[in-house]
Every structure is written in C-alpha cells, then in structure tokens.
Amino acid sequence: KISVEERVRIEKAMQKAGRFSNIIIRDDLSEDEIARFTANAYRFPDIKLSAQLYREYPHSELTSHLLGYVRRVSEADLDRLTEKGLRARYINSDWIGKRGIEAFYESKLRGQLGLNHVEVDSRGTELRVLDRQHPVGGEDVFLTIDLALQKAAFEALGNQNGALVALDPNDGSVLAFVSKPGYDPSLFVRGFDEFTWRQIRDSADRPLVNRASDGVYPPGSTLKPFIAIAGLEENVRTPEWSMWDPGFFSLPGSQYKFRDWKKGGHGEVNLHKAIVESVDTYFYKLAHELEIEKIHKYLDQFGFGSKTGIDLPRE
C-alpha cells in the first residue's frame, strides 16, 4: 500500500521529472513485495522493477562522522550542481555524498553516467538502442585510518560524549578520528520516518555534530608549553627562573584570586616543574607579562585558530 505522504511525494516527483525520466515510487522492497509485484506486473505496464546498488556502512557508528553518508539528490543539490555546471553528471534518482569523506570526495568517487541514445514511439516506449555510452566508475580513495586504533579510540571514550583524534607524528596523517556519539549512516541511505528523524535531530547528545572537526573548544592545559616557548623566545623567562606558588594568582591592583588546580599551591616552581605539574599560576603570571599580542604571535606560528586543511567538509 502507498501512504498519503508517499502519494504526495510521487506526484511532486512526476511534476518535476521530464517526460522520459524515471522516478522512484518505492525502494528497498522485501522479497515478498517483489514476488507480489512480479506476479501482477502485467497490470502496471508503465511501472518496472529494477535492481540497484546501495551503499553499506559495516562499521556503523564507529566511522559515521569520518565517512559520512550518501542520500538521494535533493532539489537543493540539483540547483547547486547546476550552478557549478555539474548537473549533467546526475539524474533525479542518483545518490550524492552528504557528509564526511563521502561529501568531500564526491567528485572523485562519483564517476560518469552511461548514456543510451534510443528510438521511442509516440507513447515514449523504447523501440531500439541507437547508440550506447558506457558508464565510467569513480576513483578509489584510500584512507590512513588504522581501524584497530579507531576501535580503541571509540571504546576509550566509553559512555562519554567527546572526540579523539590520533595523528602520525612523522607526516601528520590521521590514524584515528572519533566523535561520540555517532549515528547509523545506513539510516540515511535506506530512509526513515519522521519520528526516527526527530529522535536523531532533537537528541540532547547531538549525534549529528562532528565534535572532532566541527567543534571549537578551549585547549586547556595543552596550551602551556606554547606559552612557555613564547616566554623563552621573548626573554621574559629563563629555564632557571622560579617563583613561589601559594595556590593562586592575582592581577596587580586586584584582590580577585585565580586559583591553581592544586589547593595550597606547588611551592617553589621553575619552568620544568611548571610543565611537569601543570602549574596554573606560573602560566597565569607569565601570560600576564607577555600580554595578548605576543601570545598571539607565537600561537599563530603553531597553527592555533587556523584550519588544519583536513579533507572533511565543514571544518
């Protein structure tokens, strides 16, 4: 049976499709549905059954934010493709990469459509094929991801939401790329009802947000070594210089206390100890003496605030 919603969708698709264009009435049929239609196919001469490949994502949530997913092309997609001069590479029932690697490398993975030049009668019935242009497969894309490490990173986050990225220090290639929670990309390929979509979209855990590349977060104490480098380069500090840490730091003329993570402080602290024990107050004082322009100068050299250039959309 065809629901009211499906009927409306089909009617809209028929209005937008060209005279000789095919539209999809329903996909992902069960074996029983295929058998019943085949037995009654003579009653529907303008409807045909055809097999089609579907993208499978065997690792589901584990690689969802990395690989992304494909979906049927939308009107917005077709408009965008028309503007870029790529509309001829797609038909109305095609798939297109929407997120992740699927979206970023869409033009490489895509390939080229085949083309049949056919003779038809006045009703549009195909009589014979005059010419045939065979389709061309897309390119292969090989990732640097270590699947075992990807699984370990995913499991390390446990029940927590967060992101974990592992890079090869030799060349910067990405070995693991995890954002949690993820989602099942196959849902977007097979389709889902409005209720399921709302559950995903409105979830407080925001499973569609790629925390590893889309999110912007304070760097925390990972910033301290770079502040130390700025202090050394600007001769504001030497490795031997030390200070007494009472467990807090106050700006000149202020009584407000910026607390260290360790109640009571770390005692006498030099640069080495400040990094080893992650002494907050040492770097509060150093940052105040450097001031924002010098801090920005050095952080900029290390790429803070800049895009990494990772081959994923929406960084």
Asked whether residue 158 is assigned to any structural domain, the reply reads yes
pLDDT 10s digits, 170-219: 999 999 999 999 999 999 988 888 888 999 999 999 999 999 998 888 89
Does residue 18 surpass a pLDDT of 70? no
Same domain, 189 and 250: no
105 is a domain residue: no
Sign, Cα dihedral of 68, 74, 78, 84: negative
Does residue 66 lie within any of the structural domains? no
Say whether 221 is catalytic: yes
Q: Is 254 within a domain?
A: yes
The domain tally of the chain equals 3
Structure tokens at 70: 């494909």
Q: Summarize pLDDT for 116-130 with one digit per residue, the tens.
A: 888 888 777 788 989
| CA separation for the pair 265, 245 (Å, rounded) | 5
Given 221, 250, 278, 306, the catalytic residue: 221
Is 44 among the domain residues?
yes
The residue from 201, 233, 268 where one domain ends is 201
Do 154 and 187 lie in a common domain?
yes
Residue 237: inside a domain: yes
- Residue 163 structural domain: 147-201
Q: Determine, yes or no, domain membership for 247.
A: yes
Same domain, 271 and 235: yes
Q: Which two tokens stand for residue 33?
A: 């549905």
Residue 70's contacts (CB-CB under 8 Å, 6 or more residues apart) are 55, 95, 96, 97, 98, 102, 188, 189
Residue 144 has pLDDT above 70, yes or no: yes
Same domain, 190 and 262: no
Establish if 178 belongs to a structural domain.
yes
Q: 157 pLDDT exceeds 90?
A: yes
Please tell me whether residues 183 and 245 are part of one structural domain.
no
Compute the distance between CA of residue 306 and CA of residue 309 in angstroms, rounded to an integer: 9
> Is the pLDDT score of 1 beyond 80?
no
The model's pTM: 0.76
Contact call for residues 67 and 101 (beta carbons, < 8 A)? yes
- The pLDDT-based confidence of 20 (bands split at 50, 70, 90) is low
HSE at residue 227, side-chain half, CA atoms within 13 A, is 24
